Amino acid sequence: MSFERAAHHVVPAAPETIHWGFFDAALAPVCTVKSGDSVTIHTISGGPDHLPSGSFAILPEHPKVLAALKPKLGLHILTGPVAVEGAEPGDMLEVRIERIELRQDWGWNLMKPLYGALPEDFPFERLVHIPLDSDRMTAKLPWGTELPLAPFFGVMGVAPPPVYGPISTIEPREHGGNIDNKELVSGTTLFLPVWAKGALFSAGDGHAAQGDGEVNLTAIETALSGTFRLILHKGNGLTFPRAATDTHFIAMGLNADLDDAATQALRQMIRWIGELSGLSAEDAYMLCSLACDLRVTQLVDGNKGVHAMLAKSLLPNHKPYPPQDAAHPT
């Protein structure tokens, strides 16, 4: 697919371009693009209580946003939404994550009473600011360890079904949102079902690094810029988020019960294998048992996450995904 004539758009982080803590199909788009266009979305991270003092530099737009807006339902600060011309419910939005960059030299990690995977063990609040080195792509942890960075957006999603009205950013759902999947770094692709006119894509909740599980509630939270190519696929019929890296297919499960999230991810992967290769459900089930890895995405967002990863090399003759004849003209 050629993008030679595709346009590039930039969406800054500003009070006029941010929605704080919620998704809503009724939100007016801050930018409208054609299928195949790319857009750079700038984000910020953290409320007033999360800002550092001392030598860390705070982005100039950050305090302006905090002064102008208040959180609604959730806590994630999202930039968007970006509308895609022609997108309608029943379509699929292909989100190619072309580039992710740090915007500041610090991040933060927070644990709180009653939250996280072990709330009974850590019934107190603790906020730690962590220096980030964008040249070496490392973080310096308080006890001296240098942690390699692998930035990704914890929240990437389209508008939910209009009938939902405003919903919190905390729980990931069928529209994507707070997926917190650390595999979604630069160079990967996220596939999202479209539930509302224009799709209405937003991003935020930048993470400089995170382990599978995100067990103490947060990652290294930070401000990121992301460049995404948004490609519309008409009438695709996708009903739940999927993703792909250079090497793996990724099916997702999201549920308040971790067992049910695993079941959902597995069923999604079996279905996807059938679509890609024509294998029967029982053969796909066997392949999953032999070679598919089920990983805990996160344990702390209300709806827990499990993602199933299958190496592309195991389906050497698979059909193109997404099917090229389904792509909206660019």
Q: Do 146 and 48 have their domain in common?
A: yes
Please give the average per-residue pLDDT across 149-173, as a whole number. Answer: 98
Query: 152-157 and 31-33 as β-strands: parallel, antiparallel, unpaired?
Result: unpaired
What CA dihedral angle connects 219, 225, 229 and 231, to 10 degrees?
60
In a domain, 95, yes or no: yes
CA distances from 31 to 8, 17, 27, 50, 199 (A): 11, 9, 12, 29, 12
Summarize the confidence of residues 180-204 as an average pLDDT. Answer: 98
Q: Is the pLDDT of residue 325 over 90?
A: no
63 and 102: one domain? yes
Would you state the structure tokens that stand for residue 67, as one six-digit string? 């002064």
Give residue 1's pLDDT.
66
pLDDT band at 286 (very low <50, low <70, confident <90, very high): very high
The CA distance from 117 to 214, in Å, is 8
| Residue 330: per-residue pLDDT | 40
- Mean pLDDT in residue range 283-294: 98
Computed over every residue of the chain, the mean pLDDT equals 96
Pair 104, 223 in one domain: yes
Mean pLDDT of 183-192: 98
Rounded average pLDDT over 144-152: 98
- Decide if pLDDT at 311 tops 60: yes
Mean pLDDT of 265-277: 98
- Residue 98 included in any domain: yes
Q: What is the pLDDT of residue 147?
A: 98
CA-CA-CA-CA dihedral for 96, 99, 104, 106, to nearest 10: 70
Pairing of strands 189-193, 201-207: unpaired
Are 208 and 149 spatial neighbours (Cβ–Cβ below 8 Å)? yes
Q: Is the pLDDT of residue 328 over 60?
A: no
Pairing of strands 92-102, 224-233: antiparallel
189 assigned to some structural domain = no
Report residue 323's pLDDT band, with 50, 70 and 90 as the boundaries.
Answer: confident
Tokens at residue 214, please? Answer: 């995100």
Which element (helix H / strand E) includes 36? none
pLDDT digits (tens, 9 = 90+) for 115-131: 999 999 999 999 999 99
Q: What is the pLDDT of residue 329?
A: 45
Read off φ and ψ for residue 80, nearest 5 degrees: 135, -165
Cβ distance 191 to 326 under 8 Å? no
Q: How many helices (H) and strands (E) does the chain have?
A: 3, 21
Q: Tell whether 165 and 268 lie within a shared domain.
A: no
Within a domain: residue 177?
yes
pLDDT at position 178 over 50: yes
Q: What are phi and psi of 324, to 5 degrees?
A: -65, -30
- What DSSP string runs through 247-299? SEEEEEEEESSHHHHHHHHHHHHHHHHHHHH---HHHHHHHHHHHPEEEEEES
Question: Does 326 fall in a domain?
Answer: no
Same domain, 107 and 133: yes
> 116 is in which domain, residue-wise?
8-184+195-233
Asked if residue 240 is part of any domain, the answer here is no
Does residue 92 share a domain with residue 35? yes
Judgement on whether residues 222 and 302 belong to the same structural domain of the protein: no
Work out how many domains the chain is built from and give that number: 2
| 23 assigned to some structural domain | yes
pLDDT tens per residue across span 29-55: 999 999 999 999 999 999 999 999 888
Distance, in Å, from the CA atom of 254 to the CA atom of 178, rounded to the nearest integer, reads 10
CATH code where residue 257 lies: 3.10.28.20
Predicted pLDDT of residue 54: 83
CATH number, residue 203: 2.60.120.580
Is 214 found in the same domain as 105?
yes
* Residues 114 and 215 occupy one common structural domain: yes
Instruction: Based on the fold, state whether residues 86 and 211 are members of the same structural domain.
Output: yes
pLDDT (tens digit, 9 = 90+) per residue, 211-251?
999 999 999 999 999 999 999 999 998 999 999 999 999 99
Q: Which residues contact 182 (CB under 8 A, 6 or more apart)?
A: 150, 152, 207, 210, 211, 212, 297
Domain match, 227 and 281 both: no
As a whole number, mean pLDDT of residues 298-317 equals 97
| CA distance linking residue 43 with residue 65, whole number of Å | 11
Do 204 and 128 share a structural domain? yes
What are the angstrom distances between the C-alpha of 258 and each of 21, 285, 298? Answer: 24, 20, 10
